């Protein structure tokens, strides 16, 4: 299934720029709290991208499988989603 990831790709490019900025901040030995705030901003941006991608997955791939006739495939996709949430909760 083909997804339109243009917005997510643009957001990732922005995050990439922020990461470079954080590296510069560390190179310049800037105030630690300011560095941490920038890291938190990047984490928030990555969470937003992850949410967008998951939303797309749920509204395309999951719906397709849910409407299909293969119970094993439905279970596989549900297990994937559960695994993603379990992994996110471990972080």
Reported confidence tier of residue 91, pLDDT bands at 50, 70, 90: low
Q: How far apart are CA 10 and CA 57, in angstroms?
A: 19
* Token pair recorded at residue 53: 């991608």
| Span 16-37, average pLDDT | 98
Report yes or no on whether pTM surpasses 0.75. Answer: yes
> Taking the domains of the chain in order of start, what are their residue ranges?
6-90
pLDDT at 62: 86
Asked whether the beta carbons of 8 and 52 are under 8 A apart, the reply is yes
46-70 per-position pLDDT tens digit:
999 999 999 998 899 888 888 889 9
Task: Give yes or no for residue 1 having a pLDDT over 80.
Answer: no
Q: How far apart are CA 76 and CA 65, in angstroms?
A: 10
- At the topology level, CATH places domain 6-90 in Methane Monooxygenase Hydroxylase; Chain G, domain 1 (1.20.58)
pLDDT at 89: 81
Asked whether the beta carbons of 18 and 42 are under 8 A apart, the reply is yes
User: For residue 54, with 0-12 CB atoms within 10 Å meaning exposed, 13-18 middle and 19 or more buried, which class applies?
Assistant: middle
């Amino acid at each position: 299934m083909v997804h339109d990831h243009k917005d997510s790709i643009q957001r990732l490019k922005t995050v990439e720029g922020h990461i470079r900025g954080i590296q510069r901040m560390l190179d310049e030995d800037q105030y630690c709290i300011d560095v941490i705030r920038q890291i938190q901003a990047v984490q928030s941006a990555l969470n937003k991208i992850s949410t967008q991608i998951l939303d797309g997955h749920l509204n395309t791939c999951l719906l397709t499988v849910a409407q299909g006739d293969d119970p094993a495939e439905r279970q596989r996709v549900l297990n994937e989603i559960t695994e993603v949430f379990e992994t996110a909760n471990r972080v």
